[in-house]
Amino acid sequence: MLNGSLVVFLTVLLPFVVGRFWAYQLGLYGLYAAAAVGLGLCWGQAGFLPLGQALFFGFAAYLSGFAFIHFLDHPVIAVVMLPLAALAAGLLAYVIGILIFRRRGESGAYFSMITLALALLGFQVATSWNSVTGGFDGLKNIPGIPGLDDISSVYDLSAGVLLLMLALCRWLRHAPVGVLWRALAQNERRLLLFGFDTNRLKAVAFGVSGLMAGVAGAIYAPEQGIVTPELVGFGLSADLVIWTAIGGRGSLLGPVIGTLVVGSLSSQLRDSFVYWEVLMAIFFIVVVLAFPQGIVGLTAPLEPYFAARRRLREPITVSPRAAPERPALLAIDAATVTIGDVTLLDRLSLCFNRAGIYCVIGPNGAGKTSMFNLITGELDATAGKVMLDQVEVSGLEPHCITRRGLARKLQIPSIFPDLAITDNLAIALWSGRASGLALLDPRLRRWKSPMLDELCRRYPFLADAGRRAAALSHGERQILELAMALLTEPRVLLLDEPCAGLSPDETATLIDALRWAVGQLRGAIVIIIEHDMAVVKELAQRIYVLHNGGLLAEGDVAAIQASDKVRAVYVGAEK
């Protein structure tokens, strides 16, 4: 997209081109655009759609207007209330996000409908609480910000707020947390299994969007001199969604372009064209159908000419994890898992009490993947428990279990397809090493490790910085996901059919890489589900055979091959 310098230049030049009246109009819609930028962050980046964004805009506007009216004799206090009102809106959004997202997977229609209901509730409160909000008439005669009472200052102040929100959003997009938000939108399960609290990541994104809307709303009150219930209702929320969609929700400037172009034009058509709503509806449908990326998608061919040049920076090497004092210990104790009337695991007991490679085999439906889901916390045990390093992890959230030193490769390659290969690998490096405020530091995107260097040497395509993961073949995706799991340097590594879909040469190379990695992980337990018996014979130090959710047999390769019970199950003599 256009680089920052050009955006600032166009912002400064605009009022001289369009005149004072249109500059005033664009100043008003510039505040709406700041709120739309926050909406774009949630919808276009993190992948969930708030339908009540106006709630935070109007909430901050009421707080700000109330402060300016009641602290008219203390202008310093009134101005201090501006950032406090914005922060209050952001905090409200964050708390709402925490409450909604505490349940797994509630970021789709459920979330959108709750935010819509909250906006409708906010409108009802604003129209009914006459003593505070002024009812239908709203808060009137709100004093302006000292020194900024002139009409020409409206555009300057709004433009400054908008540029500030764009700068904040741009920084967040390039920081590790921005990468995690985009990964969240593509594959939440994969991110969860890297130990990231996806619910908190969504709540933070929602909180930031509320903060952006709050900043705009807090400025709106003294700038316009009036705050009405419409600012917290569904009407403005719907407009913000439409403007963001038309402009392009996946782009930084898309919500701004949609708001300034469509919003300001609709305000003019409202007074001069009876069927303006019909015209805008047709325009919206055409843009959404013909240009899925919005208006901003039309500028994609020009992007190479305007993109800011980035300096290549030296990578930062992170040290390998400290060697554990003792080998990992994983035990499943009489675990039963049922879903409805279906029993997935039936009093299964397994003990992995020494470092090495274990293979789990069995016919389809034997419970192998269910066992992995139990270990990672994605399935809850009806009875029994799972112990990791002599600590019970049953009942913990998947990201909490992962942080204890567990990594998993899924049966079907699970990556972040729309991210670059390097970002996929970076997320794995951050797993267990970076959290909290560290995710705001863009330098983390330059991390590398000795294991990453070796993996890139073995598989050169992993070092292709400009290539998206979606462009990889099936075999390359298998290798990428395995590399991501290895980069976490886990104590327990779960691999679900890592060689599926690989050619014989790729399988041989992967077996060699696994042997090397196990030596590097020092004391780790590697558990592999595999149907390719040639791979099992090459890697397994001990084999467990599952059948009907329980343990059928265990032993080394020779013992399993000689087992009558195993042969009977595999040839179909038993059901």
Mean pLDDT of the region 286-301: 77
Instruction: Say how far apart CA 407 and CA 491 lie, in whole Å.
Output: 8
Domain boundaries in the chain? 4-233, 330-409+474-571
Mean pLDDT of the region 17-38: 82
* pLDDT class of 338 with cuts at 50, 70, 90: very high
For the chain, percent of residues with pLDDT exceeding 70 = 91
- DSSP letter for each residue of 491-528: SEEEEESTTTT--HHHHHHHHHHHHHHHHHHSS-EEEE
Residue 38 in this model has a pLDDT that exceeds 80: yes
Please identify which residue in the block is written with the tokens 């913000």.
240
Residue 359 in this model has a pLDDT that exceeds 90: yes
Instruction: Say how far apart CA 276 and CA 253 lie, in whole Å.
Output: 25
Mean pLDDT of the region 258-275: 78
Phi then psi for residue 426, to 5 deg, are -65, -40
Mean pLDDT of the region 139-146: 85
For the chain, what's the residue count?
575
Query: Taking the C-alpha atoms of 142, 147, 151 and 157 in order, what is their torsion angle to the nearest 10 degrees?
Result: -90
Phi then psi for residue 506, to 5 deg, are -65, -40
* pLDDT class of 44 with cuts at 50, 70, 90: very high
Given this model, what pLDDT does residue 262 score?
A: 83
Question: Which residue pairs, CB below 8 angstroms and at least 24 apart, start in 313-317?
Answer: 313/446, 314/446, 315/446, 315/447, 315/448, 316/443, 316/446, 316/447, 316/448, 317/447, 317/448, 317/449, 317/450
Lowest mean pLDDT across 36-50, 136-150, 214-228: 136-150
Residue 185 in this model has a pLDDT that exceeds 90: yes
Q: Name which CATH class applies to 330-409+474-571.
A: alpha beta
Q: For the chain, give the longest Cα–Cα distance.
A: 92
Q: What angle do CA 63, 69, 74 make, to 5 degrees?
A: 105
Residue 397 C-alpha from the chain's centroid: 17
Phi then psi for residue 558, to 5 deg, are -65, -40
